[in-house]
Structure 1
Amino acid sequence: MPTLTAYPLFRERSLLYLADMGNSKLKTSDSATAPLQLAREVLMIEAREVQALAERLDENFVNAVELILQCRGRVVVTGIGKSGHIGHKIAATLASTGTPAFFMHPAEASHGDLGMITQGDVVIALSNSGEADELLAILPPLKRIGAPIISISGNRASTLSRAATVFLDAHVSQEACPLGLAPTASTTAALALGDALAVTLLEQRGFSKEDFALAHPGGSLGRRLLVHVEDVMRQGDAIPVIEASRSLKDGLLEMSRKGLGMTAVLDEHGRAAGIFTDGDLRRAFESGIDIHATLMRDVMHRQPQTITPEQLAVDAVALMEQYSISSLLVVDQQDNLVGALNMHDLLMAKVV
């Protein structure tokens, strides 16, 4: 266990506290900076332990990855106490990155939850000491079931580590807790090792951003990667359209009826020849144009920015930002107009 001399700031604060037991407030030599310095010490200790963990990774890690890749069932993560909390996060990370996984509480396992495990599953058991009674109690039935066990432990010689199919060494030389008691650096090391497993498996499986989005449909990434233009565009009668040969007055009426702040302008073949927006209208009024005599072809913006319905909605956002516009025409491969889209539609779909 680390001594107080290993933590000078903690020692200073402790001595000041002992010397001033009668006071209601803890005194420090520098109350503004001491907490920050102590916090930096904690982070540096944990960073060093994770770095040491990275440097001693060996073939056992590769074997663990192969074991999970060959798994026909689920990865079952288990642990008690702080290791259990870390296990919850590891299971969640695995599940969201292409490796089906769930957490099983070891105490509940002894009362029926072991029925969730089959021979085709892989168990990841976390315990810094490797001697947690709740975990040791389920080792014999796990062996009988035939599910291989990957142990993440800080004790190579522990009962759990010796019983495991693969042992992953997560020991730390010291905890970040000045008392050497609270799991701090050890839980960080276990968590980092779980992340390393999840990311390595992700890469080995060829897991893509689109796959990630499928597992996160309610998140912002899911919306950005799953929503296509055709899901949010205006279609049919909701599209403002006017022929190029019609008057500007007719174009303004169409814009007013559809309320998109723009109208698509079509050529004689029904293809998108241009676009007319509120900005174009302001410029037309500034030049004194007669809305009755002026034709749409004379005021429309030619070669408008377009997008196809199959593209992602986030691509529409990128186009609007690139060209500083708020509307897009949606066309098919033959340039036939099939929809219209503005920034408000994207905001409503929470793509932006």
Structure 2
Amino acid sequence: MKPSRLALALACPLIFQFAVVPSASAQAAWPSRPIRIVVAFPAGSPGDIASRLIADKLGQSLRQPVVVENRPGAGGNIGADVVAKSPADGYTFLQGPDTILTVNPTIYRKLNYKPGDLTPVITLARFNQMLVCVPSSGIQSIADLAKKARSTPDGLTYASGGPGVPGHLAMEMYVAQAGIRMTHVPYKGPSPAMQDVLAGQVPCGYLASPVVAPMVKAGKLVGLAVSGSTRSALAPHVPTMAEAGVAGYNASFSELILAPKGTPDAIVRRMNEEIGRIVKLPEVRSKLLANDLDPAPDQPAALARQIEADTAKWQAVIRRVGVYLD
């Protein structure tokens, strides 16, 4: 005997309801296993420090372990590629600087991922580069630097932690704006660069603030300015570039949390809410500031807009300088 049309009509909503319940329950149950944060730089890097500061508290809030895994190399590209190719199920996230999305796609000739493969979740913190000079150079201010660069026939040299790193790009943006000429001397990281500046082999450097701030405090280096829009907690007496007289200059950089493209919006929002709450906790905030990381939680949409604006800004600098990497 065939069921009546009325019976089928009554049964269909029930069939549909039972069909969608497992999917809704599965999402409501997130997370049901450990979450992995892939850090795209080595242990001890600013982003790694920030990730480990939030991991335990995030795990407590989500009631699942949050595991930090370092996958460094190629300016963050290795870690980014790992996460871009991971399932978009809310169990793998990327931690890295914004340069992974704003700089690397322009500066590297070949990438195994596209910026669109990664979804913005939240900004963990902003960080600075610091423009420093050795005291024997006689440079005590940005005005001194510009004057000396103009009066030096071959131009002044400056050190950075490598081609295309934040310090290199920040200095080239200043050089273009000031209309001066300086020669870039790249190193394999900010620490060896700082050693040569201290030795007077290179008079100045634009380097990571946590590396050079102790030398500035000790009087072994002169801090001229920091790159961002706010002063560094490690050297509050050092002005920003804008405060030092470079109007409109802002070379801020950020440590981000990103997710694979396609990660459910509900999971992205939950991670945003939990991490945003954690970085505002006094004990977490103070530890971040002690590492020159200024907590700056935002919404995913706002972060996406910032990435777009910064991409355009750094593309212009990279194309002017003509630095490209394999």
TM-score if structure 1 supplies the norm length?
A: 0.27
Larger Rg over CA atoms: 1
Greater strand percent: which structure? 2
Q: Which has the higher contact order (CA 8 A, sep 6+)?
A: 2
